[in-house]
Chains A and B, each alone.
Chain A
Amino acid sequence: MTGGHRRILVVEDDPETAGQLVDSLTTSGYQVDLAATGNEALSRGVASDYAVITIDRMLPDIDGITVMRQLRDDGIAAPVLIISALGEVDDRVRGLRAGGDDYLVKPFSFVELLARIEALGRRSDTVVKETVLRIGDLAVDLMSRTASRRGKAILLLPREFQLLEYLVRNQGRVVSRAMLLQHVWDLHFDPSTNIIDVYVGRVRRKVDGQQAYPLIHTVRGIGYSLRAPG
């Protein structure tokens, strides 16, 4: 986040859910504005400059998708996270087509929401220009698509490299399993098995096996985080 730009607009009509959202976002150091209706969201969205806007799909007055489209038409470029009811398969497609940057299906975990907001907020930052990313003794070369630790090459399959790259690009942040599926595999479904854990396990053995310190950490109940020690 540039210049303490950690202001978020939450558009949610259910008071308790809204309260929980505001609580957890505030705890994580965000400044949160709340809008309970679509009209309120429109006026607030235009008035201030937000890092991220979360919009519930179902609002009492205007549909969430319409609100987002209206904001886009008004020249608001802030990333939008659509929150929709569970199982509404088509909403994902419609939401993203209408200009949403990410979506989350209700009910969700707040850790997941935080991870998504972190990732979205970063997207509006300046783009990383280096071709080699370094964390601790790990070097990831984006051009030659190779990785090494302490100069020693790590043999990775293309998909494994993509996974490592996504973790490295989000270093220090929590990355959920759903986010990995979405960004590494371009999949929008829940395999309901531990398939991602097994896959990350294999990458982890290649990256962290017989090294001085581990880089990939499990975050209980949500996913993974790649960070340097200390």
Chain B
Amino acid sequence: MLLAKTLTSTTFRQALIAIGVFGVIASAIFSYVYLSTSSYVRSRSDRAIMTEYLSLQGAYERSGRDGLIALIQRRVADKSFADNVYIFVDPSSAALGGNLKAWPSTVTTARGWTEFRASEPLPNATNRPLLRAMLGTFPSGDRLLVGMDISDLDSFTDQIKTAVISCVALIFVVAGFASILVTRRTVGRIESINATSRAIMLSGLDKRIPLRGSNDEWDRVAENLNLMLDRIETLMGEVRQVSDNVAHDLRTPLTRMRGRLEKAYHGQRIGEDDQLLIGDTMADLDAVLRIFSSITRIAQIETQARKGAFRTVNLVEIASEVVELYDAAAEQDGTRLTVVGDREVLVTGDRDLIFDAIANLVDNAIKHGRAGGQVVVANEIIEGRPVVSITDDGPGIPVDEYDHVFKRFYRLEHSRYRPGNGLGLSLVAAVARLHGARIEMLDNSPGLKVKFWFSASTS
């Protein structure tokens, strides 16, 4: 989990880019070192060969074929020239002198540089060493080859090459590990901030991001976020205090008002018209009070205080009770109301509130569904999460309204003149938030499907 997050994090990606750039530069530097070293070594040996060739050529020019043969014999016998190879042949390629037995068959050019593998082992060299040589043809047709065993040279540059490549590889591996470690630490800190933010969204403002005491920039970020949360909590508390006071101050005059109206309604000397008037006023007052109590109820739910009373409840039982309660109302509309799905789907939550939420959704489905249609309440476990879905086959709602319907007092155009106060779905949304659940609306074509996704059970 953390590793996956580490590998996909921005920090890690930036580290990879840095490693890449650094790697390319390091490779370039090492390649340059390698190339210049090997070319220096090679040019030194080339100079030695050339000098030797020129001195032999001078001997040939000065004292002819025999003089050269004598010189070559001296050279072969001389230990300080042990690394050198010589071959001197007449125009028919018969060997006249030198420590090679015959003119190398792979060398066909008349003059210049050549490299070839010796056809026989040399006295003080490895088996069939690699040779580099300068060769030339004299005007008489005699040919001279002066060379040197460059196997050592070759293995030296090979070693440099290996060293360079392993250096670069090591740099990549070490840098890769280092960046994973650094990123892991960063991601770990960010994750702890994220986890706290999620916990706050789910359960209220009482959580704080833990500090490590390292006094680094992460601790400062956490500190500042915590201070911000303190501030928000204070403000929320003040707002709640105000609405509590409003609710409290309104309740007494409203109770008096209702009391007076009721007294008048039951009064002795009252005409039928007056009674009707007072009855209607009381009904309106009750509607106002209901809206008011719905708002305070939603506010109450949002304070998260009810979380303390959460216990394990069976979603199927609650859904069945809702269906039983709305059975008669559905029957009146000619709607078939059924419960389907699993026998037991357990969630952690508040039974009354879950009931309220499902009841609101079922109520909507019956009211806005097709008369004579079907409303299905399904309980199931999808991807390990308990889900209750309410489906109707009515006209549904436009997709672009999906997000709006959960707002307080929001009502779709065509339902503006029907009974209801536009708070039902806000309450559903508040209940969902309290339970850390997600609401998903889907087009059932025809109709609407509302899915209430509870979070995966942690027990």
Please give the residue numbers on chain A whose beta carbons come within 8 Å of chain B beta carbons, in ascending order: 14, 16-17, 20-21, 23-24, 58, 85-90, 93, 105-111, 157, 159, 185, 187-195, 198-199, 201-202, 220-221
Contacts and interface: CB of A to CB of B under 8 A. Distances in A.
Nearest to A201: B328
A53 to B, nearest CB: 19
B259 A87 contact: no
A159 B356 CA distance: 18
A89 B256 contact: no
Q: Is the contact region of chain B dominated by helix, strand, or loop, or is it mixed?
A: helix
A17 B263 contact: no
22 contacts: A14-B255, A16-B256, A17-B259, A20-B263, A85-B248, A86-B296, A87-B292, A87-B295, A87-B297, A87-B299, A89-B306, A107-B254, A107-B255, A108-B258, A159-B324, A185-B321, A191-B325, A191-B363, A192-B294, A192-B421, A193-B363, A195-B326
A16 B258 CA distance: 12
Interface in B280-322: 282-283, 289-290, 292-297, 299-301, 305-306, 309, 321
Contacts of A188: 352
A105 B294 CA distance: 13
Contacts of B424: 192
Contacts of B290: 190, 192
Contacts of B329: 193-195, 198-199
B256 to A, nearest CB: 5
User: Which one of A109, A110, A189, A194 has the greatest number of beta carbons of chain B within 10 Å?
Assistant: A189
Nearest to A184: B325
A165 to B, nearest CB: 16
A189 B251 contact: no
B328 A17 contact: no
Interface string B351-376: 01001100100010000000000000
B262 interface: yes
B289 A199 contact: no
Contact of A20 (B260, B301, B332, B420): B260
Contacts of A107: 251, 254-255, 257-259, 289
Contacts of B282: 109, 221
Nearest to A87: B296
B355 A187 contact: yes
A66 B47 CA distance: 110
B252 interface: yes
Interface of B: 247-248, 251-252, 254-260, 262-263, 279, 282-283, 289-290, 292-297, 299-301, 305-306, 309, 321, 324-329, 331-332, 352, 355-356, 359, 363, 419-421, 424
B307 to A, nearest CB: 11
Contact of A87 (B247, B256, B420, B421): B247
A188 B350 CA distance: 12
Contact of B359 (A21, A87, A159, A191): A191
A16 B271 CA distance: 26
A202 B328 CA distance: 7
A108 B255 contact: yes
A89 B352 CA distance: 11
Contacts of B256: 14, 16-17, 20
Contacts of B294: 192
A200 to B, nearest CB: 8
User: Which one of A108, A192, A193, A201 has the greatest number of beta carbons of chain B within 10 Å?
Assistant: A192
A23 B355 CA distance: 38
Contacts of A194: 329
Given A89-B297, A191-B325, 16 more contacts: A14-B255, A17-B256, A20-B263, A85-B247, A105-B293, A106-B254, A107-B258, A107-B259, A107-B289, A111-B262, A187-B355, A192-B421, A192-B424, A193-B419, A198-B332, A201-B328
Nearest to B332: A198
B300 A87 contact: yes
Contacts of B283: 221
B296 A195 contact: no
A90 B328 contact: no
A93 B305 CA distance: 12
A111 B254 CA distance: 16
A21 B355 CA distance: 33
A192 B359 CA distance: 11
B396 to A, nearest CB: 21
B252 A17 contact: yes
Given A111-B262, A188-B352, A221-B279, A86 B331 contact: no
